[in-house]
């Protein structure tokens, strides 16, 4: 295994990691030896590109119906224990209004793959939000749809799309998903979204069943190919009512290590400290921010439905009101030494000039 020494200059780490060999990536991923250096340089690089800014995105979980059956996910269609719900356009709009008043300038509409929301319904929802909030970003996270559907939604006013690839290794993908799902299709959706003009977010689970360093290196290689604006990662957390209920979850340290590597490989990227990270450790999100993450996504969903959007066991933030969640996160961000900003928060292509 190569021994890594990229020197003391953080930008030298960025240059080295953009050309890192697989052997170097394995070394960084598989040993705790480099953690201190990775974490320090990742934080330095986020400060070079983003200062201490942390962007907030208001997450609206508008449906927990899903046609898919991913083995890790709590809202998979075979889970008969889930109380299914759908929010109406009016309810979604109320979430946005509450969010706007709380300073949110990005709304993330996330849901299972719920075909009850046709292109027409979704476009009406998106264009109404667009009319009411012309200065906000509308992010969609609705899974795999047709190119035409993505195009119509973009035209209706959506400008960002989150679609995690989950794992970029084909054989691994097949062990996490039923056979009707394919990695090739997932990837083609991501490239289509990019081509249409969306700012695109991909991402993967850390510590999912059967994952080794090999799969994580594939994830990094795929991201280098895609060049996304956003990368969402979080630890796998078992859900008691899924086939993976008795697998162990992803670890805090590996998630932090991957966040730091991502910040160094993609210095400009928007990188959330996710709810899953906050779920496996009381200070998970703060620790994420300290190793390169620069986005947090408080929940704006109506309190009555939050517990029903249970992707994994013990998910946090399910009891709080939107305002509570917003101020809780603001305090956490400040305590970690960063600052919440309320602008739209697009990706920065250049370093900050002093
Ligand atoms: N543990 C952690 N994350 C999960 N997700 C789904 N199920 C789980 C789980 N059991 C993540 C997936 C999905 C995102 C919305 O939530 O990566 O893309
Ligand atoms: Fe939701 Fe703390 S972030 S309650």
Q: What's the pLDDT at 354?
A: 53
Q: Whose CA is nearest to atom 7 of ligand 1?
A: 73
CA of 321 to the centre of ligand 2 (A): 9
Query: 29 in ligand 1 pocket by Cβ < 6 Å?
Result: no
User: Distance from the CA of 282 to the center of ligand 1, in angstroms?
Assistant: 19
* Alpha-carbon gap, residue 20 to 115, rounded angstroms: 42
Scanning the structure block, which residue is given the tokens 């320090």?
A: 40
- The pTM assigned to this predicted structure is 0.97
| Model confidence pLDDT, tens digit, residues 236-268 | 999 999 999 999 999 999 999 999 999 999 999
Looking at residue 120, what is its pLDDT? 98
Cβ atoms 347, 200 nearer than 8 A: no
**Ligand nearest the Cα atom of residue 303:** 2
Of the bound ligands, which one is closest to the alpha carbon of residue 66?
Answer: 1
What is the predicted pLDDT for the residue at 293?
98
The confidence score (pLDDT) of residue 206 equals: 99
**Which one of the ligands is nearest to 209 CA?**
1
CA 50 to ligand 1 centroid distance, Å: 27
Residue having the nearest C-alpha atom to atom 14 of ligand 1: 164
pLDDT (0 to 100) of residue 353: 66
CA proximity to 139, closest of 124, 149, 154? 154
Q: Identify which of 57, 61, 282, 320 to mutate to test ligand 2's pocket (most ligand atoms within 8 A of the CB).
A: 320
Three-state SS string over the chain comes to CCCCCCCCCHHHHHHHHHCCCHHHHHHHHHCHHHHHHHHHHHHHHHHHHHCCEEEECEEEEEECCCCCCCCCCCCCCCCCCCCCCECCHHHHHHHHHHHHHCCCCEEEEEECCCCCCCHHHHHHHHHHHHHHCCCCEEEEECCCCCHHHHHHHHHHCCCEEECCCECCCHHHHHHHCCCCCCHHHHHHHHHHHHHHCCEEEECEEECCCCCCHHHHHHHHHHHHHHCCCEECCEECCCCCCCCCCCCCCCCHHHHHHHHHHHHHHCCCCECECCHHHHHHCCCHHHHHHHCCCCEECCECCCHHHHCCCCCCCCCCCCCCCHHHHHHHHHHHHHHCCCEEECCCCCCCCCCCCC
105 contacts 137 by C-beta, under 8 angstroms: yes
Does ligand 2 lie within 6 Å of residue 298's CB atom? yes
Q: What are the Cα distances from residue 275, in Å, to 18, 157, 190, 312?
A: 28, 27, 23, 11
Average pLDDT, the chain: 97
- Mean pLDDT per block of 10 residues along the chain (354 residues) reads 92 98 98 98 98 97 98 98 98 97 97 98 98 98 98 98 98 98 98 98 98 98 98 98 98 98 98 98 98 97 95 94 93 97 82 71
- Closest-CA residue, ligand 1 atom 6, reads 73
325 lines ligand 2 (CB under 6 A): yes
Instruction: Give dist(CA 254, CA 274) in Å, integer.
Output: 14
């Amino acid at each position: 295994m190569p021994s890594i020494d990229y020197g003391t200059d953080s930008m030298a780490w960025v240059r080295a990691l953009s050309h890192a060999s697989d052997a170097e990536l394995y070394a960084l991923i598989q040993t705790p030896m480099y953690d201190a250096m990775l974490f320090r340089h990742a934080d330095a690089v986020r400060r070079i590109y983003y200062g201490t800014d942390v962007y907030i995105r208001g997450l609206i979980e508008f449906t927990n119906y899903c046609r898919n059956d991913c083995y890790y996910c709590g809202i998979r269609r075979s889970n008969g224990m889930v109380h299914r719900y759908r929010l109406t356009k009016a309810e979604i709009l109320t979430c946005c209004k509450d969010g706007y008043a709380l300073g949110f300038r990005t709304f993330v509409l996330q849901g299972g793959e719920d075909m009850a929301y046709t292109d027409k319904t979704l476009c009406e929802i998106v264009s109404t939000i667009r009319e009411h909030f012309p200065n906000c970003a509308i992010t969609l996270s609705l899974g795999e749809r047709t190119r035409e559907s993505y195009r119509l939604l973009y035209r209706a006013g959506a400008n960002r799309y989150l679609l995690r690839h989950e794992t970029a290794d084909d054989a691994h993908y097949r062990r996490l998903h039923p056979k009707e799902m394919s990695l090739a299709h997932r990837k083609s959706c991501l490239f289509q979204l990019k081509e249409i003009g969306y700012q695109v977010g991909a991402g993967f689970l850390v510590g999912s069943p059967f994952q080794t360093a090999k799969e994580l290196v594939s994830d990094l290689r795929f991201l280098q190919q895609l060049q996304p604006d956003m990368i969402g990662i979080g630890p796998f957390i078992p859900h008691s009512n899924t086939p993976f209920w008795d697998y162990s979850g992803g670890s805090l340290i590996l998630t932090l290590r991957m966040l730091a590597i991502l910040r160094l490989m993609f210095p400009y990227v928007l990188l959330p400290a996710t709810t899953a990270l906050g779920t496996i450790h009381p200070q998970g999100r703060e620790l994420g921010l300290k190793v390169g993450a620069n986005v947090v996504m408080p929940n704006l969903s109506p309190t009555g439905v939050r517990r029903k959007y249970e992707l994994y066991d013990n998910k946090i933030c399910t009891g709080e009101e939107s305002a509570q969640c917003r101020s809780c996160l603001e305090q956490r961000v400040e305590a970690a030494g960063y600052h919440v900003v309320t602008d739209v928060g697009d990706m920065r292509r250049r370093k900050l000039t002093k």
